[in-house]
Structure 1
Amino acid sequence: MAFRLSNSVIGILNAVTLLLSIPILAAGIWLGHRTDGTECERYLSAPVIALGAFLLAVSLAGLVGACCRVTWLLWVYLLAMFVLIVALFGITVFAFVVTNKGAGETVSGRGFKEYRLGDYSNWLQNRVENTKNWNRIRSCLQDSKVCQKLQDKNQTVAQFMASDLSPIESGCCKPPISCGFTYAGATDWTPATNATPGTDPDCATWSNNASSLCYGCQSCKAGVVATFKKDWKRVAIVNIVFLVFIIIVYSVGCCAFRNNRRDNAYGRGGWKGAGYAA
């Protein structure tokens, strides 16, 4: 019997996915075992390994199930794809819900915005307020040397104030403008001698020490949340495109599964009326 088109399509798609899963899995293992790796890289290794292993297992099930007519493997493949569709749909909706609230505040005469943690969703606030989570995020920020790169620009005060700083640069590398500190460098600020304690606790948290800066500030946590929000919006849009693709593949897989069942039934004794077939 001629090889069904849907089986061929599923076989090709899963062969490609299988090849892609191998470098993903290898990259995750490499990140987790680097002797000079950062804490951030080691933290990322677990989800990368999980993604690679999942793609590898599902691709093998789909490839063998479609090409070798193993119906139960194709059933496992379709079940995994269905779970993936439901998970992607839930994640996409959740991402839009938790990132719907909050935005940076424009500062008069400044090229950058400032960020307040209370402006964002409670779920995101709770994630960065968690001590264990924040220590890990703080380690990643320090390893990335984002503030050091800002300092290395050696900007004048006018250039700095006109800069379009990223949320993390604005929240973590400088104190809030409301504190009234004097600019001496991107990460070097001098408190006013006659300043009185402000209502913003970040004013007292700020330190010119390169390992401290405003990494303990609420503004820094808000900058991280603002970055998460921006990235999650992009991921959610990509998820929608990927979800449509997965649904199409799932539909083709259902056709291949139906073909397998029909072919297996035919092999066990033929269909009724097969004698009339050409």
Structure 2
Amino acid sequence: MAENANNPTTATTDAESVTTIVAAVQEEMKPPQESSKEAPNKVDKTRLARIIVGSIAILTFLLSLPVLASIIWLLYMKGYDCESLLRLPKLQIGIGVALLFVFLISNLVVFLRAKAHALGLLVVMVPLILMLTVGLALVGAYKNESKAVIGSPTWLKDKVYNDNYWNYIKSCIYNSRMCDDLAARSLSLKSDDFSAKKLSPIEFGCCRPPVICEMEYVNATYWRRNDHLGVGSDGADDEDCDAWQNDEDVLCYDCMTCKDGFLKVIRNKWWRLGLFLVLMSLLLIVAHLLLFIATVWERFGGM
């Protein structure tokens, strides 16, 4: 024993053994390096998922604001003159109320996305698809079926060109004194100046004879006939030329150009509304689908 204690080689070996054992114990007590790396990565993914969900939620809310603006316009803006004869103001109010429900449901689903994401997607998709369908009908996407859809191009054309409806419409246009106002604004205008004047579709079609008739301008509501009237190939121009009278109670209210002018004004308004419904419904559908996907991703920890 004394020999071992006095032997420096043996003492060194024992010290090295103790050091090795201590190092092994410390190594075992250390957490695995892979686990320490996975924890920050998981936290980063969860944070990224929350940021994405929050951004899409804000975007969806912002997309709903134009819908709210259109509701205010539809419910409070006065309709075009003589629209009431075609029951269009009722349609305008109905679409406004429907859009109010779309606005409320869309934002309610955004607010409750974490609690019922699948049910919320189903609930919001139903009114958005209906909104898309109505918009496509108003822009005339359904050529055969749109005749039964109030406000669609085919429906409007059918009503305006119907003599029973047109008798009421032309009386309404006459009572609006639109042609009288045009005459009052054009008293000092010569022929060239009047030709260069920008007229509304109704003023152009109802208050003056068709251009094809080649009548001589005297004033806004009085035109002198030439010997040859109308050279239209389908006879419609000749009928309009014959229908024109310098009587302020008649003018061209019975002309096809007058019907075309009124139809153009009404159709443009409802076509723009239909295009708005189509674009907004598509944008909101895409936004809610992305929000649903991002919410599911966040729920599973951003995996």
Which of the five TM-score ranges fits, normalised by the shorter chain?
0.5 to 0.7
CA distance in 2, matches of 1:27, 1:203: 41
**Structure number, greater radius of gyration:** 2
Name the SS for the 1:81 alignment partner: helix
Corresponding residue for residue 162 of structure 2: 130
Name the SS for the 1:184 alignment partner: strand
CA distance in 1, matches of 2:165, 2:131: 27
Aligned ranges 1:114-153 → 2 under 5 Å = 126-135=158-167, 137-139=169-171, 141-142=173-174, 144-152=176-184, 153=186
Amino acid at match of 1:205: A
Q: Which runs of 5+ in 1 are unaligned?
A: 97-120
Q: Does 1:172 align with 2:206?
A: yes
Distance 1:81 1:190, change over 3 A: same
Which residue among 127, 133, 148 is the counterpart of 1:80?
127
1:169 deviates by 2.9
Aligned ranges 1:115-264 → 2 under 5 Å = 126-135=158-167, 137-139=169-171, 141-142=173-174, 144-152=176-184, 153-154=186-187, 155-161=189-195, 163=197, 165-176=199-210, 183-190=217-224, 200-225=238-263, 231=268, 235=272, 239=275, 243=278, 246-258=281-293
CA-based RMSD of the aligned residues comes to 4.6
TM-score normalised to the size of structure 1? Answer: 0.60
Q: Which runs of 5+ in 2 are unaligned?
A: 1-45, 144-152
TM-score normalised to the size of structure 2? Answer: 0.56
Aligned ranges 1:19-34 → 2 under 5 Å = 19-20=68-69, 23-24=72-73, 26-27=75-76, 31=78
Which residue among 9, 22, 36 is the counterpart of 2:59?
9
Aligned ranges 1:257-272 → 2 under 5 Å = 257-258=292-293
Percent of aligned pairs sharing the same letter: 25
Which residue among 86, 101, 104 is the counterpart of 1:57?
101
- Asked whether the equivalents of residues 173 and 187 of structure 1 are also in contact (C-alpha less than 8 Å), the reply is yes
> Which structure has greater helix proportion?
2
Q: How many residues align?
A: 233
1:63 deviates by 1.2
CA distance in 2, matches of 1:95, 1:211: 39
Q: Deviations over 1:168-215 (max 9, x none)?
A: 3332112345657554321123557xx699872334432333332111
- Asked whether the equivalents of residues 139 and 271 of structure 2 are also in contact (C-alpha less than 8 Å), the reply is no
Q: Deviations over 1:198-233 (max 9, x none)?
A: 87233443233333211111232234455567x379
CA distance in 1, matches of 2:73, 2:263: 27
- Asked whether the equivalents of residues 214 and 229 of structure 2 are also in contact (C-alpha less than 8 Å), the reply is no
Amino acid at match of 2:131: L
1:80 deviates by 1.9
Distance 1:251 1:163, change over 3 A: closer
Task: Report the more deviating stretch, 148-157 or 48-57.
Answer: 148-157
